[in-house]
Amino acid sequence: MTIAREIPTTDATDPIDTTDTIATTVSIPILQNIERRLLWLSTLMIHHANNVRPNPDKTKVGGHQASAASSVSILTALYFHFLKPTDRVLVKPHASPVFHAAMYLMGVLPRSYLTRLREFGGIQSYPSRTKDISPVDFSGGSMGLGPVAPTFAALVQKYAEAHFGYTTADRFIAMSGDAELDEGNIWEALIEEELQRLSNTIWIVDLNRQSLDRITPGIRAAKLKKLFADCEWNVLEAKYGHDLQAIFACPGGEALRQCIDDMSNEEYQHLIRSDGATVREALARRRYGREILRCLRDVSDAQLPTLLGNLGGHDLQLLIDKLHEAERTTDRPSVIFAYTIKGYGLPIYGDPANHAALLSTERINELRASFGLTEATQWDGFDPDSPEGRLCAQRGRMLRLKERAREIPPLPVRAEDVPDELNATALPVVSTQEAFGRTMMRLADVPKVGPRIVTSSADVSVSTNLGGWINKVGTFTLREATDYEAGRARILNWQLGRTGQHIEMGIAEMNLFSLIGQMGMAHELMGQLLFPIGTVYDPFVCRGLDAIIYGLYSGAKFIFVATPSGVTLAPEGGAHQSSVTPSLGIELPELDYYEPTFAIEVEWALCEALKQCCDRQQGRSSYLRLSTKPIEQALLEPVIARLGKDELRRQFLAGGYVVHRSSGLHDPRAALHIVTTGVMLPEAIEAAQYLESEGVSVNLINLTGPRRAYDDWHAAQQRGDDAHHLAMLIPEDARQAPILTVHDAAPHALAWVGSVFGQRTRALGVTKFGQSGYRADLYRYFHIDVESIISHGFALVDESLQFGRVM
């Protein structure tokens, strides 16, 4: 028996099929040589970034040589044998160098990028859809978010296929480290019923039993497998390689198998790094030690530690067999637990402290020599005429990775297909949440646009006013559903089937935002444009924040409507009263945020959000913060009469408009700017009217899109001019007057307005946790009621008089 700790070196002279069809035969020696080259290149890339390339910061660049090494066998089996052009893959974050090395060997990534790992404009530390030059399907790096992304994408694919008949992707594969399964959002996703029927989903768990700080304690894999099985997944394992399996077949082998199965991770990791005599002695002390020794009598002490470490996650034939077994499962998703060793093939193999360890230059030199390379050839791929070179070129052509971006179908909907407004009939007094429900009903009938809208909700469809939409378009499900309430009168008619345009989630906001994030990339991932609109209670935006950030970072275009919001949701109490969410809307990249007051503004915001989804390069996702507070629509009529509806819409989308401007505003001794947004406008109007009656000139601004107003100002700063929207709302001769901001949210969300022109500012808002009560009680408590606005307005004017000018 021949056993080697290193990846075996082979003389790969086997012929291979050089056509561009999907390979059906396997040449393991060729794959092993590719595996070795991936290990070397990924290790060298990290070494070069840390020890060769000039480093002006003088701090560690980082990289994970050991964690990358545990994944080389899996990625070899995937990219050089198993994958089809219609597969979309998530690569575990720490395997980024291995992935890019594979892209290089297949002719997708230029060689020059190999020396640019973790460099500005180079290869990202973790795979990124928007930053990497290689064709990344799913971004990685956010622990737990990556693995669920392909799973939700698989559900989106089933939806798109059912509605439009064709998608450019049909299978979704996620590769995760085992430590990543600690993240709670993984299990929130797995218990979602709609995901338990996805036969187009395969997960591969790189089970190296080590995390950042330690060896994972105990025998955790069995618990993880049971959790997947309980969620109705097909659970497979690549646990023991062929060498160990051969020993298990010998007399006494079953005792050795049971011994290893029962062994803790800590003991196992210790033994595979020990000398053979120590290993044999430890095994002899186990139960059935004599039987164990009997099966090992032909294994030398030199071979024994490596034999013990012969795991299935590094056995290419076994991995390929398990992948095809998963492929044959057609009624549910599959997960393969691939047992691996962190640092596989490297001198830091199995070391408990190897997570962030970097090989020394001396060890790199020794490793290079062991791979038969020199400094002159260390970055080389394979000779194009070698079996390995031919296979790499064939796989690169067959997977069409270079062509994928160019082969995305044309957009079926353009921004000009989306109307500016819908003329939905508004009641004289109506909330923005109710207006949203009416707008959705009208959107369903818009040609081209309506059929591509898909909504989702975290079990709050009715209470976010999606009921009418759902009754009109139905609910999508992969399940066979019987409507036992058919024929009975009911408010919400759950028409379940594959033609519906609403997907109902359980009460898990991470799932909601993970789903609409993948819907928001459907055009790029699978060739079908969708307009995703998710609804959620505003305070629970924070529950899904990681998934929101992940979607935005990945370039998704989606819309979420958060309602009800603020302490205006008074009777619900502090746990349901949001305050920090506007700050998220202002600060998150690639996101527009609107806080409309009137029904027509909801239409404008939602239609603009859909137009943004049509711009796949520069468009943004959108967040609408709405409320159940009834608003008198007549309050907007004087503004429409003064500006006209078209100009008002333009200003609304630019960030805000002047509701009322007194004459005499240029006199700072008795002038005041009031800046508000959303549901606080009626209170601000009433306060402004009183202040004006007392001789204070007021410029009342409704800052409907604080994010757009801020971005416009910031861009002007970068240009070095004052050509921005707030310069129009705050005229030059009124910039000595103070500013009072009023917001049903944390006051700092609007406080920045005072810094635009250096005006004295007071910010009113929610600074404590709320409690149950009526709106008037809560408004008084937080000093955002009419009387508080008035008193703070007078105080600001008095301060201006006292100091002589605004500081």
Tens digit of each residue's pLDDT (9 = 90 or more) over 618-671: 999 999 999 999 999 999 999 999 999 999 999 999 999 999 999 877 676 789
Give the Cα separation of 306 and 295 in Å (integer).
Answer: 15
Q: Does residue 211 form part of some domain?
A: yes
Over range 692-700, report the average pLDDT: 95
Pair (195, 216) in one structural domain = yes
Over range 177-186, report the average pLDDT: 91
Q: Does residue 596 form part of some domain?
A: yes
Q: Which of 406, 438, 459 is the last residue of a domain?
A: 406
**What pLDDT does residue 663 have?**
82
Nearest to 350, CA basis, from 67, 40, 77, 75: 67
Question: Residue 463 pLDDT > 80, yes or no?
Answer: yes
Tens digit of each residue's pLDDT (9 = 90 or more) over 512-547: 999 999 999 999 999 999 999 999 999 999 999 999
Q: What is the mean pLDDT of the chain?
A: 92
Pair (63, 127) in one structural domain = yes
Nearest to 68, CA basis, from 30, 118, 137: 118
Name the residue range of residue 707's domain.
Answer: 656-803
**What pLDDT does residue 426 have?**
75
Q: Name the 3-class secondary structure at 384.
A: coil
What is the number of structural domains in the chain? 4
Question: Residue 45 pLDDT > 90, yes or no?
Answer: yes
Sheet-wide strand order for 234-238: 87-90, 171-177, 201-207, 334-339, 234-238
Q: Does residue 327 form part of some domain?
A: no
Report CA torsion sign: 339, 342, 347, 350.
Answer: negative
Q: Does residue 296 form part of some domain?
A: yes
Pair (754, 618) in one structural domain = no
48 in Cβ contact with 115 (< 8 Å): yes
Q: Which of 406, 431, 465 is the last residue of a domain?
A: 406
Q: Is 247 exposed, middle or buried (0-12, 13-18, 19+ CB in 10 A)?
A: buried
Q: What is the CATH number of the domain that holds 707?
A: 3.40.50.920
**What pLDDT does residue 575 have?**
87
Alpha-helical segments (H) within 165-207: 184-190
Q: Does residue 638 form part of some domain?
A: no
**What pLDDT does residue 212 have?**
45
Q: Does residue 13 form part of some domain?
A: no
Pair (482, 609) in one structural domain = yes
538 in Cβ contact with 566 (< 8 Å): yes
**What pLDDT does residue 582 have?**
96
Q: Which residues in 374-387 are b (16+ Cβ under 10 Å) and which e? A: eeeeebebbeeeeb
Pair (258, 353) in one structural domain = no
Pair (573, 425) in one structural domain = yes
Structure tokens at 353: 């402290």
Q: pLDDT band at 254, cuts 50/70/90? A: very high
132 in Cβ contact with 142 (< 8 Å): no
Q: Which amino acid is at 402?
A: K
Sheet-wide strand order for 475-476: 496-497, 475-476, 502-505, 453-458, 531-536, 559-562, 621-625, 591-594
Q: Does residue 233 form part of some domain?
A: yes
Structure tokens at 787: 């009387």
Pair (216, 260) in one structural domain = no
Question: Residue 804 pLDDT > 50, yes or no?
Answer: yes
Name the E strands within 332-430.
334-339, 429-430
Question: ω before 564 within 30° of 0 (cis)?
Answer: yes
Alpha-helical segments (H) within 644-705: 645-654, 681-693
Alpha-helical segments (H) within 116-236: 145-164, 184-190, 221-230
Structure tokens at 713: 């100002």
Name the E strands within 514-580.
531-536, 559-562
Question: Residue 757 pLDDT > 70, yes or no?
Answer: yes
Q: Which of 631, 647, 672 is the last residue of a domain?
A: 631
Q: Which residues contact 285 (CB under 8 A, 6 or more apart)?
A: none
Tens digit of each residue's pLDDT (9 = 90 or more) over 4-34: 345 555 555 444 444 444 445 679 999 999 9
Give the Cα separation of 725 and 116 in Å (integer).
Answer: 41
Measuring CA to CA, how many Å separate 428 from each of 125, 598, 659?
55, 10, 19
Question: Residue 675 pLDDT > 70, yes or no?
Answer: yes
Pair (487, 563) in one structural domain = yes
Q: Which residues contact 249 (CB under 8 A, 6 or more apart)?
A: none
Q: Is 492 exposed, middle or buried (0-12, 13-18, 19+ CB in 10 A)?
A: middle
Pair (603, 472) in one structural domain = yes
Question: Residue 354 pLDDT > 80, yes or no?
Answer: no
Length of the chain: 807
β-pairing, 697-702 with 657-661?
Answer: antiparallel
Nearest to 476, CA basis, from 530, 536, 523: 530
Q: pLDDT band at 207, cuts 50/70/90? A: very high
Q: pLDDT band at 317, cuts 50/70/90? A: very high
Over range 285-302, report the average pLDDT: 92
Pair (169, 259) in one structural domain = no
SS (H, E, C) 584-617: HHHHCCCEEEECCCCHHHHHHHHHHHHHHHHCCC
**What pLDDT does residue 490 have?**
72
Pair (420, 531) in one structural domain = yes
Q: Does residue 257 form part of some domain?
A: yes
Over range 281-302, report the average pLDDT: 92
Helices 645-654 and 599-614, axial angle in degrees (round to 10):
60
Tens digit of each residue's pLDDT (9 = 90 or more) over 464-518: 999 999 999 999 999 877 776 666 767 777 888 999 999 999 999 999 999 999 9
**What pLDDT does residue 25 have?**
66
Over range 310-338, report the average pLDDT: 97
Question: Residue 209 pLDDT > 80, yes or no?
Answer: no
β-pairing, 657-661 with 171-177?
Answer: unpaired
Q: What is the CATH number of the domain that holds 587?
A: 3.40.50.970
Pair (290, 396) in one structural domain = no
Nearest to 634, CA basis, from 600, 607, 604, 668: 600
Question: Residue 396 pLDDT > 50, yes or no?
Answer: yes
Report CA torsion sign: 308, 82, 35, 40.
Answer: negative
Q: Which long-range contacts (CB under 8 A, 24 or more apart) does 385-390 make?
A: 386/12, 387/12, 387/13, 387/14, 387/15, 387/16, 387/27, 387/30, 388/12, 388/30, 388/33, 388/34, 388/37, 390/16, 390/18
Over range 405-423, report the average pLDDT: 93
